[in-house]
């Protein structure tokens, strides 16, 4: 069942503001403060890479020279080790962040800040494809209708139409930037697949590894651009904001170099959140390890509006690796996604008794939208008291299976499964956050100077459930619209801040005078990134158990109320941890962010 409530206006839940509910943990000063204790070891990571210059190295050297362990207090709160003035600060390196950066680089210099390697984005894990109206038998109206039906009629239809009307141009842009999509042998045209919830074949794809191909192409283009600098293994801790007044604005981000533990305040004309979702709120997720809700949590702490946070999509067919399932390759591996396209290509679902069951739940059977299929699987597992169900595509020829799903077939083969002759054990897993930081059709949030695009944003296009392959499309379309919007006012945004060539000491004085104080201290440089910290591991596991029991596929009011109280307790545990330590580690910061997002989801 869907949980939540509250008034709905045009498909958007009543927006949540950080100032309205201190007890729920959304105030800047509340017990969601991110603190923790460092471990004994540090993960090695590269320093920032700069295109065609030594700017990033110089920045790191200046930061190290100023590093003194726990940051000293001042009028600005915690003092950063270095300050840098940039035009565009992009937090995240998936399809949305890279699309934004490549367009923005035509206007000014861009800093891409990402807490792992740039390739480790949710985009890289997307298999199915990108939906687009490119076939003459398809239409914008049909795609819009399919999207709104899948979203439970809680989509913003105007935003959906904007996205769909730009879908052909989005695909053409990706091709221009080097993406190699699968084409028909007969005439060289784009090969179009069909997935659940779509009434037409409209999924443009690169075999069954579309995300990896798009990420490869965009990363190559971005790394080659002289005005784009990557800061990999750099963790965005907080957003910067001017002191509250008539018109507060976002002014950048406080960023930690994971290798050294030093901090840099990036003062930016435009700051863009493109850092994905929060799949690691749950014990089983298809998301990469970086998906800990950082963007939503940071936005909440500076007063930006969020919406529709209760709507978490659970992908119905993640590979089951529990008792009786496929072989697990790594102890704590993410759930491997079995792409929607397998069902679109004729895959059938069977329960543990060997019965097909989808016809009992929906006339569209395996081609129903994800939320319906996931709930149906959950119901069958409970009814048959089993750990999983099975996806069967063996009735399709082996050569055809290998040709269409080489990535899935190869991954399953590593685990001793042959999808051409055997059924695949599957279960639902947390997959996509349909809510997020509320934006308009141009990626603008409620806080001037702050933009959001991709999964971290709530644009209105997904409603209560995302239609398959609309996420990559949303990332491209709204990232490009955001750049077009900011270009119109970039000179005004620049004029509100110190000049781009400002002296660092002068920039530091401006921060102390004009910006809201930062009060969360980092752990010392030797302990910011911990390895296998028992406290962090146990806290994550407890959060995940709590969220799965209360905010999984089926929810009840009593369980959600109990979970809110539990997360309140866990939030205070983070605060207690800080009381005996020198600040918070990256792991504890991520835990605190997960708690913020979890409480929003439950509320």
- Catalogue the active-site residues: 370
CA distances from 235 to 74, 220, 258, 499, 574 (A): 23, 22, 7, 25, 19
Q: Distance of alpha carbon 504 from its chain centroid, rounded? A: 32
Q: HSE (CB half, 13 Å, CA atoms) of 142?
A: 15
β-pair partners for 452: 273
Q: What is the dihedral of CA 410, 412, 418, 419, to 10 degrees?
A: -90
Q: What is the 3-state secondary structure (H, E, C) of 76-137?
A: CEECCCEEEEEEEEEECCCHHHHHHHHHHCCCCCEEEEECCCCCCCHHHHCCCCEECCCCCC
DSSP type of residue 105: T
Given a contact cutoff of 8 angstroms between Cβ atoms, the answer to whether 458 and 437 are in contact is yes
Structure tokens at 282: 């749950």
Our CA angle for 524, 525, 527, nearest 5°, is 70
**How many CB atoms neighbour CB 415 within 10 A?**
14
Q: How far apart are CA 299 and CA 456, in angstroms?
A: 10
Q: What is the dihedral of CA 196, 197, 201, 207, to 10 degrees?
A: -30
Residue 349: CA count within 13 A, CB half-sphere: 31
Q: Return phi, psi of residue 162, to 5°.
A: -55, -45
d(CA 212, CA 206): 9
CB distance 439 to 432 below 8 Å: no
């Amino acid at each position: 069942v869907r949980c939540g409530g509250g008034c709905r206006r045009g498909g958007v839940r009543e927006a949540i503001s950080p100032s309205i509910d201190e007890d729920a943990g959304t105030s800047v000063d509340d017990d969601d403060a991110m603190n923790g204790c460092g471990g004994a070891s540090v993960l090695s990571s590269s320093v920032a890479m700069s295109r065609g210059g030594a700017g990033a190295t110089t920045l790191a050297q200046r930061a190290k020279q100023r590093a003194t362990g726990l940051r000293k207090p001042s009028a600005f709160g915690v003092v950063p080790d270095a300050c840098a003035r940039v035009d565009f600060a992009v937090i995240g390196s998936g399809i949305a962040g890279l699309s934004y950066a490549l367009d923005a680089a035509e206007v000014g210099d861009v800093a891409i800040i990402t807490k792992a390697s740039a390739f480790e984005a949710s985009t890289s894990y997307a298999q199915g494809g990108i939906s687009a109206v490119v076939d003459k038998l398809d239409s914008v109206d049909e795609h819009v209708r399919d999207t709104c039906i899948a979203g439970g009629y809680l989509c913003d239809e105007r935003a959906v139409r904007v996205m769909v009307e730009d879908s052909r141009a989005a695909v053409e842009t990706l091709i221009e930037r080097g993406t190699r999509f699968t084409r028909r042998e007969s005439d060289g045209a784009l090969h179009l697949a069909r997935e659940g919830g779509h009434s037409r074949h409209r999924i443009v794809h690169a075999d069954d590894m579309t995300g990896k191909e798009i990420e490869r192409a965009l990363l190559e283009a971005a790394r080659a651009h002289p005005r784009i600098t990557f800061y990999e293994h750099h963790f965005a801790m907080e957003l910067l904001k001017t002191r509250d007044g008539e018109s507060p604005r976002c002014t950048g981000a406080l960023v930690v170099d994971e290798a050294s533990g030093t901090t840099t305040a990036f003062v930016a004309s435009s700051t863009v959140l493109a850092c994905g979702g929060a799949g690691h709120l749950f014990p089983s997720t298809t998301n990469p390890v970086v998906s800990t809700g950082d963007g939503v949590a940071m936005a909440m702490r500076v007063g930006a509006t969020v919406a529709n946070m209760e709507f978490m999509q659970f992908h119905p067919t993640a590979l089951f690796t529990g008792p009786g399932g496929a072989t697990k390759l790594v102890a704590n591996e993410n759930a491997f996604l079995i792409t929607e396209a397998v069902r679109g290509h004729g895959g059938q679902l069977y329960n543990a008794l060997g019965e097909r069951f989808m016809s009992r739940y929906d006339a569209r059977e395996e081609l129903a939208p994800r939320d319906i299929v996931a709930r149906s699987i959950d119901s069958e597992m409970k009814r048959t008291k089993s750990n999983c169900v099975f996806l069967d595509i063996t009735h399709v020829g082996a050569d055809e299976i290998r040709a269409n799903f080489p990535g899935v077939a190869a991954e399953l083969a590593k685990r001793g499964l042959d999808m051409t002759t055997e059924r695949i054990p599957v279960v639902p897993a947390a997959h996509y956050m349909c809510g997020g930081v509320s934006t308009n059709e141009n990626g603008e949030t409620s806080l001037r100077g702050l933009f959001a695009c991709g999964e971290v944003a709530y644009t209105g296009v997904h409603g209560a459930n995302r239609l398959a392959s609309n996420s990559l499309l949303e990332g491209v379309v709204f990232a490009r619209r955001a750049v077009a919007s900011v270009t119109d006012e970039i000179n005004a945004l620049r004029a509100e801040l110190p000049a781009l060539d400002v002296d660092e000491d002068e920039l530091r004085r401006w921060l102390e005078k004009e910006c809201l104080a930062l009060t969360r201290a980092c752990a010392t440089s030797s302990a910011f990134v911990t390895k296998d910290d028992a406290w962090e591991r146990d806290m994550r596991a407890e959060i995940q158990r709590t969220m799965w029991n209360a905010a999984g596929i089926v929810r009840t009011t009593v369980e959600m109320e109990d979970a809110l109280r539990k997360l309140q307790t866990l939030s205070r545990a983070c605060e207690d941890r800080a009381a005996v330590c020198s600040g918070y580690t990256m792991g504890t910061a991520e835990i605190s962010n997960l708690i913020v997002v979890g409480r929003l989801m439950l509320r």
